[in-house]
Amino acid sequence: MSVIGAERSQVIAKRVERFVRDIVVPFEHDPRRDHHNCPTDELVAELRELARAAGVLTPHVLADGSHLSQTETALVLAKTGLSPLGPIACNTAAPDEGNMYLLGKIGSPQIKERFLKPLIEGRARSAFFMTEPAEAGGAGSDPSMMMTTCRPDGNHWIVNGRKAFITGAHGAKVGIVMAKSEEGACMCLVDLPDPAITIDHVPNTIDNSMPGGHAVVTIRDLRIPADQMLGQPGHGFKYAQVRLSPARLSHCMRWFGACIRANEIATNYANRRQAFGKTLVDHEGVGFMLADNLIDLRQTELMISWCASVLDTGSLGTSESSMTKVAVSEALMRVADRCVQVMGGSGVTNDTIVEQVFREVRAFRIYDGPTEVHKWSLAKKIKRDWQRANS
């Protein structure tokens, strides 16, 4: 990262951190939640107006439409993650952040104007329709199992299928739908809501920081104009790779910030709480847990920085993002678990965000590919590299 880039990202990050700590944190107990305990659109809109007024809305996208480097983005997104509501307020949350990145890279001028612009302005939420129901044998961690189809019909494409765990589908205004055609996988843009897309069920999940939840939907004869095809038909998996590595890393960035905050809360508790004649931090079992947290947090920071630097070279960074996702999600799970343990009974209540961070990070170990899938992918690469070197 250049000196100018470093200075720019530091300035933005400091402004974001100040906004999240001073303005967003007091909203953490705001009762405006849906029946899944996710923030309502009313709360999201209010937070985004406050972010707009503070000059920190979509801070990773600059006024000219250019995107901060991944190394710069890492610093900024970690600051938005200091509150579970921070990414929502600052418009850096999943799936919108990844969708904005994808549309900025692949979208036509028309698509950018119609679909990307309202996302950057924070006036719309989006959903990425890729995962499918497991009971139907559809695509999950293996996208090649995709069963949703699309076929040309004049100057339109007709899409049919079912999708599952579609984050933010309820209340989204922009949809990116993945389906398979004779040419291969495709991505299409659609205005939401659309009567051809029915939300069947929004299950209660272990996490509740993402507006709209994670819906199961049915798509019946969805007609999409041909000019709303993202890029070229049959290139959908290629475009997915453009999105997935940076989006995977963005998850790491945001939850890194969340665990920094959780560790701050646990540290404050351990230094104030008295037990057995001394403060908790003076008990070796507690002090060592906080020491381990510092180690895991620093290793997390270094892994994120390394992967970001690889992506900044223009590489897809598929293996590097897999390694980082595994290392970071597992390390942050340990951090969040220790924070709960240090705080004892207080750690399992919603008096602080510690228990929510614990739940969110547990889900993170599955989102954007479970640990085991990434390890399996890395193992296949190890075998390919060995065979290449010994052929």
- Write the DSSP string, 231-284: SSTBBHHHHHHHHHHHHHHHHHHHHHHHHHHHHHHHHHHHHH-EETTEEGGGSH
Judge whether residue 27 has pLDDT over 90: yes
Classify residue 186 by burial, with Cβ atoms within 10 Å: 0-12, 13-18, 19+. Answer: buried
pLDDT digit string (tens) for 212-236?
999 999 999 999 999 999 999 999 9
Q: Which of 83-92, 128-137, 197-206 is the least confident region?
A: 128-137
Distances (CA, A) of 283 to 202, 277, 334: 44, 10, 19
Phi and psi at residue 299, in whole multiples of 5°? -65, -40
Judge whether residue 308 has pLDDT over 80: yes
pLDDT digit string (tens) for 92-147?
999 999 999 999 999 999 999 999 999 999 999 999 999 999 887 887 778 888 99
Residue extent(s) of CATH 1.20.140.10 domains in the chain:
237-389
Alpha helices by DSSP H, listed for the chain, are: 3-19, 41-54, 70-80, 86-90, 96-106, 109-111, 117-120, 236-272, 284-311, 318-343, 354-364, 371-389
Task: Yes or no: say if 208 and 224 are a contact pair by the CB < 8 Å rule.
Answer: no
List of residues 6+ apart from 91 with CB closer than 8 A: 48, 51, 57, 58, 97, 119, 120, 122
CATH label, 237-389, candidates 1.20.140.10, 1.10.10.10, 3.30.830.10, 3.40.50.720: 1.20.140.10
Q: What is the DSSP string of 52-69?
A: HHHT-SSTTB-TTS-B--
Q: In this structure, what token pair is assigned to residue 185?
A: 């996988």
Residue extent(s) of CATH 2.40.110.10 domains in the chain:
126-232
Mean pLDDT of the chain, nearest integer: 95
Round to whole Å and give the CA distance between 125 and 99. Answer: 10
Round to whole Å and give the CA distance between 53 and 60. Answer: 16
Judge whether residue 36 has pLDDT over 90: no
Task: Yes or no: say if 135 and 145 are a contact pair by the CB < 8 Å rule.
Answer: no
Q: In this structure, what token pair is assigned to residue 360?
A: 């969110």
pLDDT recorded at residue 3: 63
> CA angle, 100 as apex, 316 and 163 as ends, to 5°?
85
Judge whether residue 5 has pLDDT over 70: no
Percentage with pLDDT > 70 across the chain? 99
Work out the average pLDDT over 365-377.
Answer: 94
pLDDT recorded at residue 134: 87
Q: In this structure, what token pair is assigned to residue 1?
A: 């990262």
Judge whether residue 1 has pLDDT over 80: no
Task: For residue 110, count other CB atoms closer than 10 A to its CB.
Answer: 11
- CATH superfamily of the 126-232 domain: Butyryl-CoA Dehydrogenase, subunit A, domain 2 (2.40.110.10)
Round to whole Å and give the CA distance between 298 and 301. Answer: 5
**In the structure, what pLDDT confidence band is assigned to residue 2 with cuts at 50, 70 and 90?**
low
Round to whole Å and give the CA distance between 389 and 384. Answer: 9
pLDDT: is 28 or 35 the higher one?
Answer: 28
Judge whether residue 237 has pLDDT over 70: yes
Work out the average pLDDT over 289-315.
Answer: 97
pLDDT recorded at residue 136: 76
Task: Yes or no: say if 196 and 223 are a contact pair by the CB < 8 Å rule.
Answer: yes
Instruction: Give the pTM.
Output: 0.95
